[in-house]
Amino acid sequence: MALNTLLATFLCTIVLPVLLFLVALKLWEVYLLRGRDPGCPRPLPPGSMGLPFLGETLQLILQRRRFLRMKRQKYGYIYRTHLFGNPTVRVMGADNVKQILTGEHRLVSVQWPASVRTILGSETLSSVHGSQHKSKKKAIMRAFSREALELYVPVIQEEVRAAVQDWLSRDACVLVYPDVKRLMFRIAMRVLLGFEAEQIRTQEQQLVEAFEEMIRNLFSLPIDVPFSGLYRGLKARNFIHSKIEENIKKKLQDCENSSRPRDALQQLIDSSCKNGEPLSMQAIKESATELLFGGHETTASTATSLVMFLGLNPDAVNRLRLELLEKEEQGMDPQNLTMEWLEQLKYTSCVIKETLRLNPPVPGGFRVALKTFELNGYQIPKGWNVIYSICDTHDVAEIFPHKEEFQPERFLSKHCSDSARFQYIPFGGGSRMCVGKEFAKVLLKIFLVELVSKSHWTLLNGPPTMKTGPTVYPVDNLPTKFMSYN
């Protein structure tokens, strides 16, 4: 009798719940795979859809690159999953990514996860389509023209120089990642949003903390309830909007004045004024927040990676210094950089390219299938999300031998440069390629010139573990000791 009771208890408390859980998983898989197009003879990509409703979102958030590496090893270059509330196909490899990036408006359309769209807004460049996207992109591109970048160079150099001097003055180690994020934040506020230096100094702490909170919760479950990630992200976003609105109102009052330099945000406002189209305050605030995110979060990630890779590869630092010395002998004044001189720093460009190859700050891009189409023998059902992977595509690119090694000189090869299309995509590609890529390159070059000409440094913890959230960063914040080079 006691044995029967024990057996019944065992069945009820362990076996039955396990069976019910397995049945629920199977029903969830069947429910999701009903989206398969019966008119397409191709099978769905391999993969798994994870837990009911949650999918595999939690695994991705918690494990990031480890999760993605495991999936690639198990399923290959194309696989299905369920992320951020939607059935998703993840794609990597030059040929596969090429089809996604060149299929904009024909096969796929940009669509970020619901939490990103909710926090950043529906009027951002990354979210709008058609003529609205073209006009907004055209306005922003004027702020990233060569003439505009020339105006930004002295402001960027001033901020970077002050930051490097501050690092050299400290007896204790510098936590590079948070310091670089603050530096890039100040630069973005000044040259992209047109904030005055004094404005930034008085509000920097509050704005940085709010922005950090917003970014932390950008990729979260789309549940807006108190204390949820989305709730915290929106609260932080609203604070940022309130501060940006004060600056926008000043710009709107000066809409007719075209005599002073134009930052990216002013270009959007001018475009609205000239076209006679009313641009809502909300739309301007959303565009400003997107510029701030794109203009500092990704560059902070790459600048931190530059410090890391160069700290581990002193020969590359010496070669950078040699290039700067050669340019000084030709008449370059490193104290007053210009676009002309920055464009001649070929090896410096290679160091940035190699850093972006190994540690692209953004791991991929989001699309949605406009219709069912075939990709490398698999069907991609209409309405499913498609994520193209930048980091995995770089990892599997055939044109990069010894791909785990830091070798900037590989980009001096004409063959490497000519063959890199879709095998090297740190800024994405197609009509949605990052509009600020030239701005990022200029900023990172100035950062390197100031860094290697004024200092040498030691990574106190050696090579760090890198995570993604949402951009790539070192988990230990990269503690580093800076010393004067001269």
Binding-site residue ranges for heme: 434
CA 437 to chain centre: 12
* CA-to-CA separations, 278 to 127, 246, 257, 274, in angstroms, rounded: 19, 18, 18, 10
Tell how strand 455-459 and strand 174-175 pair up: unpaired
Distance CA 188, CA 237 (A): 17
Helix (H, G, I), strand (E, B) or coil at 357: helix
CA geometry: angle at 325 spanning 417 and 409, to 5°?
25
Distance CA 212, CA 233 (A): 9
Distance CA 124, CA 432 (A): 13
Read off the DSSP letter of residue 427.
Answer: T
Q: Residue 430: exposed, middle, or buried by beta-carbon count in 10 A (0-12, 13-18, 19+)? A: middle
CB of 202 within 8 A of CB of 325?
A: no
Which residues are annotated as part of the binding site? 434
Residue type for position 191: V
* CA-to-CA separations, 127 to 157, 286, 351, in angstroms, rounded: 32, 11, 32
Element (H, E) at 321: helix 314-329
